[in-house]
Chains A and B, each alone.
Chain A
C-alpha cells in the first residue's frame, strides 16, 4: 500500500480524499493556488505544496507543475478528485511515465471513453443503446447546421471532452445555433482545454440514471447500483438520490448488466460511472462514462456502507475487490443536495464572496462534505460548490424529511445559496411522488421566487439586531449569551 498520496484537486473533494487517506494511515499532500492559500484542503493536509497563480491553467490544470510537486514530496500515487485533471488522459499518461500511480483508470481508457464520440461508438458496437446524434466532433458551422436539421430541433450541444454540464447547450431553433455553438466551444475550451463539440437529439422528459461501477486489475467488475440525478439546472445536477424512484428489480438488473458490460468492453479499471437517460417506457440510452469519482458518490456510500475512495485506493494499489455482485446489498435511501454559491432567484448566477458565518447541520444520518468555513473567501476562479449535504434514512419519505430538516438548520451568511430553493423542491408534490425528470426545474420551478409569508419575522429580527447592535457596542453581549439555555432548544415555529 502507498504511504503518501498527492491530491491534485481543491475544495470539498480534496478534503474528502484526505480523510480516507488519514484513516488508511497514508500521508496526504495538498496542492494549492494563490486563491487557495487559506483554503481548507491546504490547511488540513499533512503537507501542502504551492502550484501557482489562481487561474486553473497556472495551477490545478498545470500537469507539469503537479508532476513536479508529486516528485518533490515523494508521493507514490495521485488522486485527481473530480473536475480539473480527473479525466485528462495526458495527465494520467504523464503519471504513468513518471512511475506515479494515477488513482483512476489507465490513460488509454480515459482517452477512449473521455472522448464522448469515441465512447458512443464503442457502446454502439457493443450493443448498448445510444441517443441519436453525431458520432464525431465538428467545428464547421455549415456541417453542424445540417446535422441539427437532420436530427430536428431541439438539439443538444455537447463538449466532446466534456462532463459536468460544461459546454452544454439546448438549442431550440436554427437562429440560436451559431451563438450557442461558439459559447459552448469556448466554455469547453476553458473547462477541458478542448473546444470540440458535437450534437445530439434532445430527449424530452427523460430521467438521468447512472450506475456506479468498480473494476479491479484482476478482471472483477461489479456495479454498486444506481443514482438518480434528474434534478438539474444548467445541465448540472443539484439533487441526487438512490435508489431511483423509477427503478424496479428487473430494470436494475438489466441496466446494471449493461453498465458492467460497458466497463468490460472498455477495459475499465477503478471506480467509474456509466450514465444513462431513462425514458418513461423504461428504455435506456447510454449517455457517457465518467472515468472518475463522481460528485454524488456519497449517496452510494451511504446506502452500501462502503468508502468508495478507499476502494479506489485499494484497486490502484493492485488489490482485488474481494467481493462479488451478490455481496452488494443496499439499505435505506440517501439524498444529496449540492450547496453552490449561487442565486436561485437570478438564473443560478454564481455568487462568490466572503463567508461571514457558517453553521453546518448535524444529526443522525446527516453528512456534510464541506470545503469552506466562516471567514473563507469563495474564489471566482473555480466551481462554485461550497459543500454537499447528504442524508441517509430508512426510506425515501424519511430521507426527504431528514434533508428538509438539515437544510433548514444550515446557515450560510455572505454568499447566496440555493438552500431555500432546495427545501421547496423537496417539499413539492412532484418531487415527493418521485416524478423527477430532467426538465423538473424548468417545469415546476421556472423563475422561482422565495415566498415572503414569513418575511415579517425577518423584519422583527432586523429591528432586534439593530437594537442589540447598540447594546453590543456597550459590551453587554457576553452577559446575554447563554447558548446552553433549554429555552433556546425548543425548536422552530412558523407564522
Chain B
C-alpha cells in the first residue's frame, strides 16, 4: 500500500511533467532557407497577424498602414479570461533578437523562446499546418516592419486556465501538422493550405469541444462567437452555409467585402476580408475552390 502511495506521489507528477513538456523543433530541424520578405508579406496577410497584433488607434482597430505597427495591446475577451495580445514588432520588446528557430517554434509548436507554452488564443493549432519556409519568410517580412516599444500586461485567466504548463496536454490532443479535409486538384489544395494553415479560418468558424479544441468532424460548420454574442457562420456549401454562393461570389466577397446580396461584410470578418483583399486573385480563387469542395454541414 505504502509503495503504491509513494509510487503515486512520484510517478504521477513525473508523468504529468513529461506529458506537459514543451516540444520544440531542434536546431537541426530547421531547413536551410533564406527568408524572403516579399514572399513573407503574402503569408502575413494570409495569416491575419495584423488583426490581433496591430496596435489599436484611438481604441479602434488599426486601418491602412497602421496595420503594420505590430506593438500589440488589443485585448481578447474569452470564456477563459482576458488575453492581452503582445508586441511582435522587431523591437526588443517584441521579436527583436529572436532567432529564426525561436520564431518557427512559436508558430509551429506554440512554444516561446524561454520554453513556455503559448496559449492557443495564438492560433498555432492552425499555424502548425504551415510550411516551415513560409514561416521563415514571414519572419523576414516582420523584420522589415517598424520596431515599436511597449509591453502588455500578463493574461488575466481564472483557475485552472492560468496554469500554463497544462497547455502541454492540450497540445497533445489538438496540435498536429496534418491537413483536416481531403480535397482534390491544385486550386482546392492551394486553398486548403491557406484556409487550414495560415488563414486559421477554423479557429472561429469551427465549433470547439469542452476543452476548446476544434471539432474536425464539424469543420467550418459555424460556431458560437468566441468574443461574445451571436454566431460565426457556417461556411460549408450546405443550406445553412453558403451553398448558394458561387466560387466567384466567394472570391468577390473576399476581394471587396460585399456579399452576393451586396450587403457589406461585418464584425470581426471585416479585418479578415481586408487581409484577404491583399492576396492575389489566384489565392482568393483557391480559397473559394476549397470552400466549394467541402462537405456540406447539414
Partners in one complex: no
* Interface residue ranges, B against A (CB under 8 Å): none
